[in-house]
Amino acid sequence: MKLFYINDIVSKTTIDGQIEISCWIKNKRTSGAITFLEIEDSTGSINAIAEKNILGDPSYNLLRKTPIESSVKIFGNLQADPHKETLWEIKIVHFDVINKATKQLSPSPRTLNDPFNKKYANQILNNRHLYIRNSKISSVIKIKHQMLIAIREWFNSNKFTEVDTPILTQSNLYDNNNTFNTDYFGTKAYLSQCAGLYLGAMVPALEKVYTITPAFRKESSKSPRHNPEFYHLKGQMAFYNLQETMKLVEDFIYHTVIFIDTNCSKDLSQLEININTKMYEPPYPVISYLDSIKLLKSNGINIKIGQSLNEKAEQCIADKYNKPTFIMNIPSEIEPFPYSLTDDKLFTKTADLLIPNGFGEILGIAEFIYDTEELKTRMKEKKKDPKENNLEWYTDLSKFGDVPKSGFGMGVERLLRAILKLPHIRDCYMFPRLYGRQPYP
């Protein structure tokens, strides 16, 4: 087991004896009888110096020939860092090779300074298993971890139960054209597009539920906000209406943003990011879908009532307010069957949350139909025959005392991308799955 990490050294206030550290060589430069190393582990990096006259010829030559990315064990003494980059540097007195790197990659994973730059995208995606060693890439993952801690903390302390929902299903929320299919012991199953239907069944049992689960959409989109496999945060609450859910969403998003800003300072500075916490402070402006169409037209964007907003339209609206912005009452013809309709049946009791600066929609809210006849009519309208679509169980809910309820769904990585202002959704995954690429590695 490894007992000391580079972070333990960096944060030392006094020199107290020899240190021993298992790590990787990040960078190396030799100047005659002196070799300067930058070594790295999961907690940070530090400079180390090897001198031929201290190590002796064989050991010094071995060190010189050990390439970057090799794993090594270094024994040494601390001395003040003359370059003041950190407090200390390590004067090496002995070193062992754990595993010598026999291949190299260019640019090298640990030294690449700009891993989100488009020009490296293919190289990084093809070698994702190695570029995750890049400290900026791993900082995103560390922040993602903290983001999920923040989200769970918020929901758990607000009396929600986190539940499991199945991936393999025969019941789709949307149509069956954008599903991944599989053979389930002789019968056809889909990979879940959305856990919302299943949460609906849990509402009469647990009242306030959420899940953070993989979701799948077989969509041929190369936009920087779409990918076929993503994490979906879904919540559903008995007796909540649309407005109450909008308030809930504001609260948990702001909590999450503040949590990251407070707890991830090291990784944020690694990424050279200042989070715009002020922007995420509630309340968020609300505009109706109808008013948004007027606003778009007055800004020269041509859109008809009943159409979905494209990315350009979303950006126009959110940028006007320069805050996360709710668009309320999306037309019923473009929303799926479970969502409640307004009195005139033309719109739904829904709200989409848009983030400014091109990050667009990250979250959608809806009230749900809980009346048997209303659901029947709406399913007919959306051509969702309960039997044909394996949704008889869902229609059962309304017959067994279902209640007024509301819920939301958020793309976990969409929020992360927006908070960290990352250029592409692919930067928010360890191993992203993207349209136009094999799911490899």
| Shortest distance, position 46 Cβ to its own copies, whole Å | 15
Q: In terms of Cα–Cα distance, which of 242, 239, 214, 217 is closest to 227?
A: 217
Query: Judged by CB, which is closer to its own copies: 75, or 435?
Result: 435
> The tokens of 60 are what?
């010094």
Partnered with residue 350 across adjacent β-strands are 366
CA distance 79 to 14: 10
Count of beta carbons in the 10 Å neighbourhood of residue 438? 8
CB of 179 to its own copies, least distance (A): 9
Least Cβ distance, residue 400 to its own copies (angstroms): 5
- CB-nearer residue toward its own copies: 77 or 395: 395
User: Of the two residues 99 and 307, which places its CB atom closer to its own copies in the complex?
Assistant: 99
The distance of closest approach from Cβ of residue 390 to its own copies in the complex, given in angstroms and rounded to an integer, is: 6
CB closer to its own copies out of 219 and 381: 219
Alpha carbon 97 to chain centroid distance?
Answer: 36
Could you say which DSSP state residue 431 is in? S
**Nearest to residue 362, comparing CAs of 147, 140, 152, 66?**
147
CA distance linking residue 60 with residue 28, whole number of Å:
13
Q: Which is nearer to its own copies, 41 or 314 (CB)?
A: 41
We find the least distance from the C-beta atom of residue 429 to its own copies, in angstroms, to be: 6
Q: Rank residues 99 and 262 by Cβ distance to its own copies and give the closer one.
A: 99
Closer to its own copies at the Cβ: 88 or 198?
A: 198
Cα(412)–Cα(419) distance, integer angstroms: 11
Residue type, 11: S
Please report the DSSP string for 68-92 in residue order.
TT-EEEEEEEEEE-TT-SSSEEEEE
Concatenating the DSSP letter of every residue in 6-41 gives HHHHHT-SS--S-EEEEEEEEEEEEETTEEEEEEEE
Nearest-approach distance from CB 370 to its own copies, in angstroms = 6
Place of tokens 């070193």: 95
Distance, CA of 302 to CA of 290 (rounded, Å): 14
- Tell me whether residue 2 or residue 312 sits nearer to its own copies (CB atom): 2
Q: What is the distance between the alpha carbons of residues 8 and 12, in angstroms, rounded to a whole number?
A: 6
Contact 220, 138 (CB under 8 A): no
Q: What is d(CA 428, CA 97) in angstroms, rounded to the nearest whole number?
A: 33
List all residues 6 or more positions away from 408 whose beta carbon is below 8 Å from its beta carbon. Answer: 234, 235, 245, 248, 249, 363, 364, 365, 366
Q: How far is the CB of 35 from its own copies (least distance, A)?
A: 17
> Is 255 or 323 the residue whose CB approaches its own copies more closely?
255
Kindly state the smallest distance separating residue 300's Cβ from its own copies, in Å: 36
Tokens of 382: 């959306």
CB of 7 to its own copies, least distance (A): 10
